[in-house]
Amino acid sequence: MIKRIFIRQKAKQLTFRFKALLAITLSLFAFVGIPQVLAKPVNKPNIIIYVTDDQGLETLGIYGGKDVPTPHLDSFAKQGVYFTHAFASASSCAVSRANILSGQHGHVNGMYGHAHGKHHFSSFDNTLSLPNRLTQEGYRTARVGKYHLAPAEVYQFDQVLSGKTKSGFASGRSLVEMADEVMSFVKAEGEAGKQQPFFLYIAPNDPHRAAPHQFDKANSFGNRKGGYPGVKPFRQKPSEVGIPNYLPDLPQIRDEMVEFNESISRIDQGFGRLIQNLKQAGVFENTIILFLSDNGTPMPNAKTTLYDTGIRLPLLMHVPGIQRQGKIDDALVSWVDLTPTLLDLAGVKYKADSFNGRSFKTVLNGKNTDDFSEVYASHNFHEITMYYPMRAVRDKRYKLIWNIAHRLEYPTGWNVWDSSTNYAIRESGVTHLGQRLVQDYKFRAEYELYDLINDPLEVNNLAYRAKHQTTLNKYKNKIKQFVTQTQDPWAIKLIHE
């Protein structure tokens, strides 16, 4: 017994001596400058999402747009990366924004249509959004401009920056002022003087149509006489504008394109000012920046449709430390991929099965691009009165759209329907929207199958041609798998039929 006690005492003495020796050794290492593990926490990147309102792919020079000079956006794209095949997972403002910030499709997060006013759709209370996740990781968060989300507890930000600029204009329209005024948040320190990383969500109202919507005159698209502070005027004559390939050439449409293009120029100048400010503040290099739109241009045959004019959109990114630069054309990515990608880039752990999308960080480094070969999209409502559920799958060769309510006339979104462009189309008696028959736009088949290589404008429906039935069934099975895996309420229709 005494021997055991002696042994324990000797062991304690040796342990004490070892601890003392270890402490002295570590002190010497620190004195001579040998780095200590975990001496400094990892510096997480800042994150900015800049999401415009109704801006189609064709509006940027980097994507071949010729009507409006967009030098700041084009330069940003070339110095960072830009995707040629990036897609909204919905073609409606509120749903698309909810999908961006949740990483889930609208029928999964609960946002089936517009959130504001009488429409009153909202995400499920248990949805865990990007701002809420980043708050948990120690980020400061703020938003400015258009919100269009609900409930506020699900899409919560520490700060809501002023909706009015110092000049008294709406911050979502006076975009150079907006770029200046967000810098107070960017430069601020966090709690107890800590330099916390930040997440800033910037959502201009441009180039969305402005109220009131009038069928007998061109919409202003937020433009005003005298312009906005810091914005150089850009004004074309109606004869100078190009007509998008999905619209007819009518005088009223030219008048509206003049206004729309001025709004696009304002976006480019505002974004350019933001990048300039970030560089001057010394935070640009450690900031992930995304530029994108929620859905296509606010015109018939574009916004609210699942044609490429409604969902194929710009995606420009600045990501510190990645391997690729310039154009990325070998992967198809979706807005539901954005939240998991940003969390991955920020080093934030998450459960992959909590998202419908997935991180494309590997694509940014030139790897696993074959894994991103198809995307899915859906639509249920725009306004409460615009009910027309659709589901779609797209890869580089084919797109299949399932028009669930195909027996109904297609209901154009209200702010597009009640426009001088749409009124001119109705009253002129034109038979085509670009190359698409007006009749086919209004009254749709249950399935629309398009060969995107031979028919990029999606006007020749192959779904009911005998030689394409194998292809049709292949893509119908893809949609069936999609609605089943995402527990889409409309899965019951496919299963029973």
In a domain, 7, yes or no: no
Amino acid at 319: V
Q: What percent of the chain has pLDDT over 70?
A: 91
> With bands split at pLDDT 50, 70 and 90, how would you rate the model's confidence at 352?
very high
In a domain, 217, yes or no: yes
pLDDT of residue 7: 36
Residue 106 near residue 382 (C-beta atoms within 8 A): no
Exposed / middle / buried, residue 31 (Cβ in 10 Å: 0-12, 13-18, 19+): exposed
pLDDT tens, 20-79? 443 434 343 333 333 333 323 348 999 999 999 999 999 999 999 999 999 999 999 999
Look at residue 86 and give its three-state secondary structure: strand
Q: Are residues 364 and 400 in the same domain?
A: no
For 156, the domain range is 46-371
In a domain, 19, yes or no: no
Distance of CA 2 to the CA centre of its chain: 75
* Beta-strand runs (E) in 34-115: 46-52, 81-83, 86-87
Q: Are residues 313 and 363 in the same domain?
A: yes
Q: Are residues 63 and 158 in the same domain?
A: yes
Q: Are residues 65 and 175 in the same domain?
A: yes
Q: Are residues 415 and 316 in the same domain?
A: no
pLDDT tens, 440-483? 999 999 999 999 999 999 999 999 999 999 999 999 999 999 99
List 289's β-bridge partners, or say none.
48, 318
pLDDT of residue 151: 96
Exposed / middle / buried, residue 9 (Cβ in 10 Å: 0-12, 13-18, 19+): exposed
pLDDT at 112 over 70: yes
Q: Are residues 427 and 285 in the same domain?
A: no
**Rounded to whole angstroms, how far apart are CA atoms 391 and 296?**
17
In a domain, 238, yes or no: yes
Q: How many domains does the chain have?
A: 2
For 449, list phi and psi in degrees, rounded to 5.
-115, 125
Helices (H), 33-120: 71-79, 93-102, 106-109
Q: What percent of the chain has pLDDT over 90?
A: 82
Q: Residue 429 is part of a domain; what is its CATH number? A: 3.30.1120
> With bands split at pLDDT 50, 70 and 90, how would you rate the model's confidence at 193?
low
Q: Are residues 121 and 196 in the same domain?
A: yes
**Rounded to whole angstroms, how far apart are CA atoms 410 and 407?**
9
CA dihedral 273, 275, 277, 283 (to 10 degrees): 170
> With bands split at pLDDT 50, 70 and 90, how would you rate the model's confidence at 412?
confident
**Rounded to whole angstroms, how far apart are CA atoms 312 and 86?**
6
Which helix H or strand E contains 61, and what residues bound it? none
For 208, list phi and psi in degrees, rounded to 5.
-55, 150
Distance of CA 100 to the CA centre of its chain: 5
